[in-house]
Amino acid sequence: MKALIIFLLACYFALSYRHLSAQSAGYTIESFQGVYTELEDYESVGILALGSPIWEMEFDFNFQFPFYGALYDKMIYNAEGWGMFTDDEDESTYLMDYTGSYAWDDLNDTSNITSDVRFSHVTFNNMQAFVLQYTKMGFFADPVANSFDTYMNFQIWFFENGVMEVHFGEMHMDGTPIYEPGKGFYCYTTSGGVDTNEVCGPHVGISNPYDRDDGIAVSGSYDDFEITSDIYDNLTTLPPPGWIIRFKPTSVGLFDPAPQNNHIIIAPNPASSYILIPNVASKVLIYADSGKIVYEGVPSEKILSVSNLTPGIYFTKIISSGQTFMGRFIKI
């Protein structure tokens, strides 16, 4: 038990309050804990695409977006999570691209759509942005869809100053053979098998529309990665909810368009049977390191039992009086 506690503590401090930054020509990549906020006002790609899971659509930014020395007022995106700035099928943005394509659930009831791709034009601190949100998305033609409730939530943000961000929300990837932490998303065959010899994403990178070799990408885990020029390199381990991976032009200085989350210290830590909640009226969510929600509710007292959780590292989100607080604790 002592060895386990030491190991978990080492992992905890390695993850806590981490803000990674790396740079290549033209762009800097930053990776850090933030807050995931669902779009409230949006349009539905699912409805506009008439429910077809294999879609490609042009989106207007409503501003001039600077990218590799040129300005663009629109871009084309598709079901793979691959974005283009020209009509020549350039490989400009692979921001959570998956070669096998993502897919929403059947859109039989358009009055109550829970799985969709959504988009909106928003403003944060006088900064315009275009947001593309993949909401409770699964994999297209997933051979194990009937066995596992697999889904992902993530957003792609394009700010008017040229900054791009991937925001990660709740993900339920437990058990699915398509995803292996440390590897990424496997390919699968039409015969219903998963090909563990080939990784098909997710790819997190950008490149010059006119020179694919002029790119910058993440290769490795969200919290321990290398910077490469190959946009086909893989994000091997998915981050916890609220994590942000940012691509920032080197010409942009300090950038903080939205308030970062407030950190809160969870006690006791490590915890064996309970944790203390600062405000009883707060909504509390506890996530496993896979991104799965293991608790969601409004506790009636400050002591919240965690005795049923398996040993490991957990992330907490506490929403109180319109503010969001993030914390971590170890269950032993």
Percent of the chain at pLDDT above 70?
84
Mean pLDDT, rounded, for 37-57:
90
Of 104, 99, 124, nearest to 34 by C-alpha is 124
Question: Where residue 290 falls among pLDDT bands split at 50, 70, 90?
Answer: low
Domain annotation covers residue 300: yes
pLDDT in tens, 294-327: 888 888 888 999 999 999 888 888 887 767 788 8
Non-local (6+) Cβ contacts of 331 within 8 A are 270, 271, 272, 306, 309, 310, 311, 312, 313, 314
| Residue that finishes a domain, picked among 190, 218, 249 | 249
| Integer Cα distance of 141 and 104 in angstroms | 11
| 67-76, 219-228, 289-298: the lowest-pLDDT one | 289-298
| 88-92, 109-113, 131-135: the lowest-pLDDT one | 109-113
Q: 52 to each of 48, 104, 105, 116, 330, how far by Cα in Å? A: 9, 9, 10, 11, 43
Return the higher-pLDDT residue of 110 and 136. Answer: 136
- Is-above-0.85 flag for pTM? no
Same domain, 26 and 108: yes
pLDDT exceeds 80 at position 11 = no
Same domain, 152 and 77: yes
Structure tokens at 19: 């803000």
The pLDDT assigned to 6 comes to 47
Mean pLDDT, rounded, for 156-162:
95
Question: Where residue 14 falls among pLDDT bands split at 50, 70, 90?
Answer: very low
pLDDT exceeds 90 at position 26 = no
Same domain, 42 and 132: yes
Same domain, 267 and 222: no
Question: Where residue 19 falls among pLDDT bands split at 50, 70, 90?
Answer: low
Please give the mean pLDDT across all residues of the chain: 83
Report the domain count for the chain.
2
Same domain, 227 and 168: yes
First vs last C-alpha separation in the chain: 8
| Residue that finishes a domain, picked among 249, 284, 304 | 249
pLDDT in tens, 240-285: 898 999 999 988 866 666 555 567 888 899 999 999 988 767 888 8
| Residue that finishes a domain, picked among 249, 272, 289 | 249
Q: Which residue has the tokens 């490590």?
A: 270
Which CATH number covers residue 326? 2.60.40.10
Same domain, 79 and 196: yes
- Range of the structural domain that residue 318 is part of: 262-331
Most confident of 14-18, 24-28, 151-155: 151-155
Largest CA distance in the chain: 59
Domain annotation covers residue 255: no
Domain annotation covers residue 257: no
| Integer Cα distance of 69 and 225 in angstroms | 27
| Integer Cα distance of 311 and 272 in angstroms | 9
Same domain, 283 and 194: no
